[in-house]
């Protein structure tokens, strides 16, 4: 059995929803379908979710969302008309507009896009509409109650063979609507897949899957046919954002694979995200490369630092006190570097440097800004000789100065820090070096 989730671009208009229906109908195993709110129909359009946040803001600031809500009505009416459905949303619209005007919550307003979108697809497919409010549960603090939600869905499933479920939201014990963070329908889909014990969780979007590098930086990068949940975490953390990063948690512990598919190119097999023991054999050395700009390094030097008990703790205490989270902490014999996102340390730089200097009696504390991090990720890296050599000779050949190196103990990735002006050049150098190495052309 398959659980499918269709994103905003797939649900944007009557034409795309017809494609969705065709996909669902082409395999009777596709029994539970989770949907996003309609996305943009073209570049100048606004996503329904964004319109609904606007409605909420208008209700709060002007006392009424009547004007902005018209655009929501129009978008859905155009879809209903285009699909020739015998549906009348007048009552729903009036109730939603009234509720938003009564200043319920931004979450309530935003959730209505998914709610109406699911009703439309359910009508188109002849499936039951199952409101996520009944089965996706949070506590009053807004934390997902996974096991409670799974039990509720399993009970409902016994009587419902096929259903369309709105993504993105659920309810708190008080009945108040609560949404996930943006893009959260991916998480809803994962919960339903887990509850339904799906063989595969299909996540249908508008790209073929994860690419081995950012196509805005590398020309025509290859598609990743298969990667593990852990590799995905590493790549997503570094900016590869096809899927909501939290959506792997409900399915990972039970090993349900996620298959990223393209509604607009259903012949492509997409990307499979699997447990390590289900990986496909591959001649690949690395799985992918991802990176992010905008980091600062604090470099702390002190003679005999390595034998000083409590050194790192004192540094960490300063960061904790200043409410700064750090990303990496590579260390040398007499040096410790701390890599921090710019936004965490902006406005506090001098204060933090002074405090660290005092706390550990450092010989020298320096700040280097303008750093970008690049993660080269892959399970196969661990079992191969020369992976690091390929990476670093590629950077040396391209005349790129490596400012920081961090290889996680899992050997799943090597992270390098380079000056931001070298960022694009570095990613290209690494990508092409590994492509050549995989094709048997040694470059070092
Ligand atoms: N519609 C919501 C958003 O735009 C949630 C989703 O599509 O997953 O973020």
Burial tier of 28 (Cβ tally within 10 Å: 0-12, 13-18, 19+): exposed
Which amino acid residue places its CA nearest to atom 5 of ligand 1?
Answer: 183
Instruction: Compute the distance between CA of residue 430 and CA of residue 440 in angstroms, rounded to an integer.
Output: 15
Among residues 73, 6, 67, 77, which one has the least CA distance to residue 39?
6
CA-CA distance, 390 to 396, in Å (whole number)?
A: 10
Residues 33/4, Cβ–Cβ less than 8 Å: yes
- CA distance readout (Å), 197 to 2, 167, 192: 9, 18, 8
From atom 6 of ligand 1, which residue's Cα is the shortest distance away? 183
Percent of the chain with pLDDT over 90: 82
- Classify residue 281 by its DSSP letter: P
183 within ligand 1 shell (Cβ under 6 A): yes
Of 48-52, 72-76, 241-245, least confident by mean pLDDT is 241-245
Rounded average pLDDT over 185-203: 98
**Neighbouring-strand partners of residue 262:** 205
Q: What's the maximum distance between 2 C-alpha atoms anywhere in the chain?
A: 78
Asked whether 412 and 230 are in contact (CB, 8 A), the reply is: yes
Work out the average pLDDT over 146-169. 96
What pLDDT is attached to residue 444? Answer: 47
Residue 290's nearest CA partner among 244, 383, 221, 388 is 221
Q: Is 203 in the pocket of ligand 1 (CB under 6 A)?
A: no
CB 185 near ligand 1, within 6 Å: yes
**Given this model, what pLDDT does residue 404 score?**
86
What phi and psi values does residue 292 have, to the nearest 5 degrees?
Answer: -145, 145
Least confident of 4-13, 101-110, 250-259: 101-110
Q: Please, which pLDDT band fits residue 123 given cuts at 50, 70 and 90?
A: very high
Amino acid 29: pLDDT: 97
CA angle, residues 193, 194, 200, in degrees to nearest 5:
50
**Would you list the DSSP string of 173-207?**
TTS-EEE-STTTHHHHHHHHHHHTT-SEEEEEESS
Question: Residue range 5-17: average pLDDT?
Answer: 97
pLDDT for the residue numbered 443: 45
Contacts 24+ apart (CB under 8 A), 433-439: 433/390, 433/391, 433/393, 433/394, 434/285, 434/286, 434/376, 434/390, 434/391, 434/394, 435/222, 437/285, 437/386, 437/390, 438/283, 438/284, 438/285
Between these two residues, 151 and 157, which has the higher pLDDT value? 151
The whole-number average pLDDT for the span 281-290 is: 86
178 beta partners:
170
How do residues 74-92 score in pLDDT, each as one tens digit? Answer: 999 999 999 999 999 999 9
Task: Determine whether the shortest distance from the Cβ of 47 to ligand 1 is under 6 A.
Answer: yes
Q: Are 243 and 182 in contact (CB under 8 A)?
A: no
Q: What is the mean pLDDT of the chain?
A: 93
pTM (two decimals): 0.87
Q: What is the rounded distance in angstroms from the CA atom of residue 302 to the CA atom of residue 289?
A: 34
Contact (CB, 8 A) for 305 and 311: yes
Residue 441 has pLDDT above 70, yes or no: no
Residue range 405-429, pLDDT digits in tens: 887 666 788 999 999 999 999 999 9
Dist. CA 137–CA 145, nearest whole Å: 5
263 CA distance to ligand 1 middle (Å): 17
182 close to ligand 1 (CB < 6 Angstrom): yes
Ligand 1 pocket, residue 8 CB under 6 Å:
yes
Which among 113, 170, 178, 179 is the best mutation to test ligand 1's pocket, defined by most ligand atoms within 8 Å of the CB? 113
Q: Which residue has the least CA distance to atom 2 on ligand 1?
A: 183
Buried b (16+ CB within 10 A) or exposed e, 128-146: ebbbbbebbbbeeeeebbb
What number is the average pLDDT over the span 327-343?
A: 90
Cβ atoms 227, 287 nearer than 8 A: yes
Query: Regarding beta strands 413-419 and 402-407, do their DSSP bridges make them parallel or antiparallel, or are they unpaired?
Result: antiparallel
Q: Is the CB of 184 under 6 A from ligand 1?
A: yes
| Domains located in the chain, CATH noted | 2-276 (3.40.1160.10), 288-438 (3.30.2130.10)
């Amino acid at each position: 059995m398959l659980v499918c989730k269709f994103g905003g671009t797939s649900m944007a208009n009557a034409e795309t929803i017809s494609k969705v229906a065709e996909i669902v109908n082409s395999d009777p195993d596709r029994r539970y379908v989770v949907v996003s709110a309609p996305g943009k129909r073209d570049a100048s359009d606004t996503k329904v979710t964004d319109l609904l946040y606007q409605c909420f803001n208008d209700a709060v600031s002007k006392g009424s969302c009547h004007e902005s809500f018209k655009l929501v009505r129009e978008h859905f009416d155009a879809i209903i008309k285009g699909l020739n459905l015998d549906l009348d949303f007048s009552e729903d619209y009036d109730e939603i507009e009234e509720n938003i005007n009564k200043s319920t919550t931004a979450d309530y307003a935003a959730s209505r896009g998914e709610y109406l979108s699911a009703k439309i697809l359910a009508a188109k497919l002849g499936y039951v509409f199952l409101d996520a409010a009944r089965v996706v549960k949070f506590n009053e603090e807004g934390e997902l109650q996974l096991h409670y939600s799974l039990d509720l869905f399993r009970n409902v499933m016994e009587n419902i063979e096929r259903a369309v479920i709105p993504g993105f939201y659920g309810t708190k014990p008080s009945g108040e609507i609560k949404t996930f963070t943006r893009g959260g329908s991916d998480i809803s889909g994962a919960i339903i897949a887990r509850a339904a014990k799906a063989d595969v969780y299909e996540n249908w979007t508008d790209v073929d899957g994860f690419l081995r590098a950012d196509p805005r930086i590398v020309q025509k990068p290859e598609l990743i046919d298969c990667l593990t949940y852990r590799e995905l975490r590493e790549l997503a953390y570094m900016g590869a954002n096809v899927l909501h990063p939290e959506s792997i948690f409900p399915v990972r512990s039970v090993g349900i694979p996620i298959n990223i598919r393209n509604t607009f190119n259903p012949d492509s097999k997409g990307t499979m995200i699997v447990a390590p023991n289900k990986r496909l054999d591959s001649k690949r050395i690395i799985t992918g490369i991802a990176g992010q700009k905008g980091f600062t390094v604090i470099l702390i030097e002190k003679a005999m630092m390595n034998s000083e008990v409590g050194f790192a703790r004192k540094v960490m205490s300063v960061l904790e006190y200043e409410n700064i989270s750090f990303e990496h902490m590579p260390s040398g014999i007499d040096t410790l570097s701390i890599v921090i996102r710019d936004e965490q340390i902006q406005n506090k730089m001098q204060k933090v440097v002074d405090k660290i200097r005092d706390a550990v009696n450092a010989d020298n504390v320096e700040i280097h800004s303008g750093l970008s991090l690049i993660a080269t990720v892959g399970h196969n890296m661990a079992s191969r000789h020369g992976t690091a050599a390929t990476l670093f000779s590629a950077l040396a050949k391209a005349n790129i100065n490596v400012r920081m190196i961090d290889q996680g103990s899992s050997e799943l990735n090597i992270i390098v820090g380079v000056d931001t002006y070298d960022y694009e050049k570095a990613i290209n150098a690494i990508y092409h070096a590994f492509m050549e190495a995989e094709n048997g052309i040694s470059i070092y």
